[in-house]
Amino acid sequence: MLKNRSFVLPLSKMPNKWINILYTLPEALTPLVDPATSQPLPVEALLPLFAKSLIEQEINTKDEFIDIPEEVQKVYSLYRPTPLIRATFLEEALQTPAKIYYKYEGVSPSGSHKANTSIPQAYYNKKEGITKLATETGAGQWGSALSFACNQFGLECLIFMVRASFEQKPYRKIMMQTYGGKVIPSPSDKTKIGKTLLEDKLNYNGSLGIAISEAVEMAMENNDTHYTLGSVLNHVLLHQTIIGEESKIALEEVGDYPDIVIACCGGGSNFGGIVIPFLKDNIVKGKKTQFIAVEPTACPTLTKGKYAWDFGDTGKLIPPALMYTLGHSFMPSPVHAGGLRYHGESPLVSYFYNKKMIDAVALQQIEVFEKAVLFAKTESIIPAPESSHAIATAINEALKCKETGEKKTILFNLSGHGHFDMAAYESYFGGTLENYDHPEEKIEEALKHLPQINFGCGND
């Protein structure tokens, strides 16, 4: 008899509320601080950049749940509920007694979980009278998700794309343009900072830090324009909780509950999204689920970073927050999982880790690609290099079960497909993919440049 593999909830069971974990853990709310005074930034300081509703969500400790507006639910219905899949083909190949499930977020129009937050971000901005959103994109995942969402709500979308990626990833660019987004290679002549930086030829290829500065300047200088972030912030993790909520409902229907939940961790949004509903059960109902955040050894923010106040970006425009960080000047080696090359970590995920509510591991990319290819050959979905970190860890946990005979239930988040990452697979097959040494000295150097903030705890 064939086993049922794919569990897709009917639209009527799609959650209509996000889970606000700040209600359960109000002390997890750490402010953004002004680096000049070490004092928390007043909310008004963020108003030129972000929609008021999003700032309210950022600091909300009063509401256990936040209603998902009907307009947002409608656009979610383009691809949600997403399937929860039992990895029967992979289980067979591994000969493991463990049960492996994955939540597949690659079915979104832009191919990753990032659409879960781009949709509400576009919606709230539109509702508050904004006509244009500006953002930056490196590999193009966030730019694609925002461009898709802006099109749905009739907003203009301005994407500053690191020039090196703009030239190397023409298909991501065309995807953003298909949804109507304006893609500008950064540094550009559209902003003051871009013009200044262009005077030095060394800046021509751009960097994520430069692209952020250009998008922020656009928002600061124009009343009709706001800035958006695709990860890290509390409101982004809030929007992503729909991943874990749906997983929980679908698992309930098959009579299962995870012993381990695994996700890759860049800025922490897909990890927070799948983990928070189960983590809340650990806190409130005394469940004992284990959570594993997976990062690349080239950018080991949780496993080797420091819990300290640091800037959110290389250009020091995003005010300091308390988080695990490798230092804002840390430049990770060029691993293919571009979405995991972030020096910092979501303050919420950092809080969970500091309180030992979650575990973290770091993996080398050759192992990650070996296991991504095993997954592609068994389950037949070609995963994004970022998501493959979660796959590799799920496989390792399933293999441990094979040794011990334990029948654990493992759930991981397949945050996106890898259809635009064929160059990475090509270098794996061509044998040119490199592992990188632990960047201990680079981290030590970058940690010397943390801002001096004297607020509450931190810098311990």
Ligand X SMILES: *Cc1c(COP(=O)(O)O)cnc(C)c1O
The residues binding ligand X (CB under 6 A) are 112, 114, 141, 231, 264-271, 339-340, 384, 386-387, 415-416
We find the least distance from the C-beta atom of residue 401 to ligand X, in angstroms, to be 25
Nearest Cα neighbor of 63 from 124, 121, 30, 18 is: 18
Measured from the CB atom, the residue of 31 and 296 that comes closer to ligand X is: 296
Measured from the CB atom, the residue of 236 and 453 that comes closer to ligand X is: 236
| Residue 117 tokens, joined | 């937050």
CB 325 within 8 A of CB 296: no
Phi/psi class of residue 162: alpha, beta or left (left: φ > 0; alpha: ψ in -120 to 50)? beta
Measured from the CB atom, the residue of 141 and 241 that comes closer to ligand X is: 141
Measured from the CB atom, the residue of 349 and 401 that comes closer to ligand X is: 349
Distance CA 232, CA 343 (A): 11
| Residue 347 tokens, joined | 């303050």
C-alpha torsion 353→354→356→361, nearest 10: 40
We find the least distance from the C-beta atom of residue 387 to ligand X, in angstroms, to be 5
CB 35 within 8 A of CB 311: yes
Distance CA 151, CA 327 (A): 36
Bridge partners (DSSP) of residue 40 are 33
We find the least distance from the C-beta atom of residue 453 to ligand X, in angstroms, to be 24
CB 144 within 8 A of CB 90: no
3-state secondary structure of 7: strand
Measured from the CB atom, the residue of 76 and 408 that comes closer to ligand X is: 76
Sign of CA dihedral 313, 317, 318, 321: positive
Residue with the closest Cβ to ligand X?
416
Measured from the CB atom, the residue of 409 and 413 that comes closer to ligand X is: 413
We find the least distance from the C-beta atom of residue 285 to ligand X, in angstroms, to be 26
Distance CA 421, CA 268 (A): 21
Phi/psi class of residue 206: alpha, beta or left (left: φ > 0; alpha: ψ in -120 to 50)? left
Measured from the CB atom, the residue of 267 and 320 that comes closer to ligand X is: 267
Measured from the CB atom, the residue of 226 and 336 that comes closer to ligand X is: 336
Q: How many residues does the chain have?
A: 460
We find the least distance from the C-beta atom of residue 455 to ligand X, in angstroms, to be 25
- 291 HSE (CA, 13 A, CB side): 28
Measured from the CB atom, the residue of 206 and 383 that comes closer to ligand X is: 383
Other beta carbons less than 10 A from residue 378's beta carbon:
16
Beta strands 65-67 and 17-19: pairing type?
A: antiparallel
We find the least distance from the C-beta atom of residue 407 to ligand X, in angstroms, to be 29
| Residue 22 tokens, joined | 């700040």
We find the least distance from the C-beta atom of residue 331 to ligand X, in angstroms, to be 18
We find the least distance from the C-beta atom of residue 287 to ligand X, in angstroms, to be 23
For the chain, what is the radius of gyration of the CA atoms? 21
| Residue 258 tokens, joined | 């995870």
Measured from the CB atom, the residue of 98 and 107 that comes closer to ligand X is: 107
